[in-house]
């Protein structure tokens, strides 16, 4: 209802004032967000309606733009999905230990119907997909430390776009889309410190994927299928 009210207000105001929609949205605040910008809101929401010990365990960016952002006013085309984890829920019922949330423009986050299966369905590289299946299988029991240091989504894509293999893939596949996964580094590399989180970026077309892993600690980037 809140979302409808915002749209209704904008429509009526524009009709009577002659202002541009872009100007009204600018006054209300930008509808574009980065991956890290809504973490606090999501965790607080999860602590209220899921479990008091909720912690962030992953972020999934669906069809992010070239700036590493999504538009909250266009959620049918893109989204940041925040996955939280609860040790208390895991102890009682491990299959329910994760909950999924999406931010809402000028409102509080809501639970999302997107699941791990949906996220992984866009990884067309079989080897990378199998690795990701093993990774997400651990997210019921681990989380990203609140003090972990890692890049936000725009900085990640800046580094990715500098790579020749990314440039070649996007040139060969002009319809390339971009999905992003922020994951606890321990779920990727058991020898790394737990106080970290790494990014995995999936560049994909209808039939193929290039999946790259950015290690937050070293800044190195590797092809996930070559591990």
Q: How confident is the model at residue 135 (pLDDT cuts 50, 70, 90)?
A: confident
If pLDDT is split at 50, 70 and 90, which confidence band does 185 have? confident
Q: Is the pLDDT of residue 3 over 70?
A: no
Q: Do 114 and 17 share a domain, yes or no?
A: no
Whether 125 and 194 share a structural domain: yes
Q: What's the whole-number mean pLDDT along residues 125-143?
A: 88
Q: How many domains does the chain have?
A: 2
Please give the pLDDT value at position 186.
58
Write the pLDDT tens digit of every residue in 156-175: 999 999 999 999 999 999 99
Query: Are residues 88 and 12 both part of a single domain?
Result: no
In 10 A of CB 141, how many CB atoms?
15
- Residue 117 above 60 pLDDT? yes
Q: State whether 136 and 87 are in the same domain.
A: yes
Q: Report the distance separating Cα 45 and Cα 33, nearest Å.
A: 18
Q: Mark whether 20 and 77 lie in a shared domain.
A: no
Asked which of 10-24, 43-57, 80-94, 199-213 is least confident by mean pLDDT, the reply is 10-24
Distance CA 54, CA 49 (A): 10
Q: Are 43 and 54 in contact (CB under 8 A)?
A: yes
Same domain, 6 and 59: no
Domain coverage including residue 3: 1-30
Same domain, 149 and 171: yes
Same structural domain for residues 21 and 51? no
């Amino acid at each position: 209802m809140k979302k409808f009210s915002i749209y209704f207000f904008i429509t009526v105001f524009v009709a009577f004032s002659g202002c541009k929609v872009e100007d009204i949205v600018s006054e209300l605040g930008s509808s574009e967000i980065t991956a890290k910008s809504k973490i606090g809101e999501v965790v607080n929401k999860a602590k209220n309606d899921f479990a008091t010990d909720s912690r962030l365990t992953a972020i999934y960016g669906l069809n992010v733009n070239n700036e590493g952002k999504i538009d909250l006013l266009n959620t049918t085309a893109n989204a940041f999905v925040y996955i939280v984890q609860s040790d208390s829920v895991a102890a009682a019922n491990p299959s329910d230990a994760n909950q999924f949330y999406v931010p809402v423009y000028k409102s509080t986050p809501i639970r999302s119907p997107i699941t791990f299966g949906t996220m992984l369905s866009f990884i067309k590289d079989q080897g990378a997909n199998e690795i990701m299946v093993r990774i997400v299988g651990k997210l019921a029991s681990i989380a990203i430390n609140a003090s972990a240091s890692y890049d936000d989504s725009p900085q990640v894509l800046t580094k990715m776009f500098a790579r020749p293999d990314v440039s070649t893939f996007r040139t060969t596949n002009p319809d390339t889309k971009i999905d992003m996964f922020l994951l606890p580094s321990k779920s990727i590399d058991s020898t790394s410190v737990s106080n970290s989180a790494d990014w995995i970026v999936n560049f994909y077309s209808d039939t193929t994927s290039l999946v790259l892993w950015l290690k937050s600690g070293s800044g190195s980037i590797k092809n996930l299928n070559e591990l």
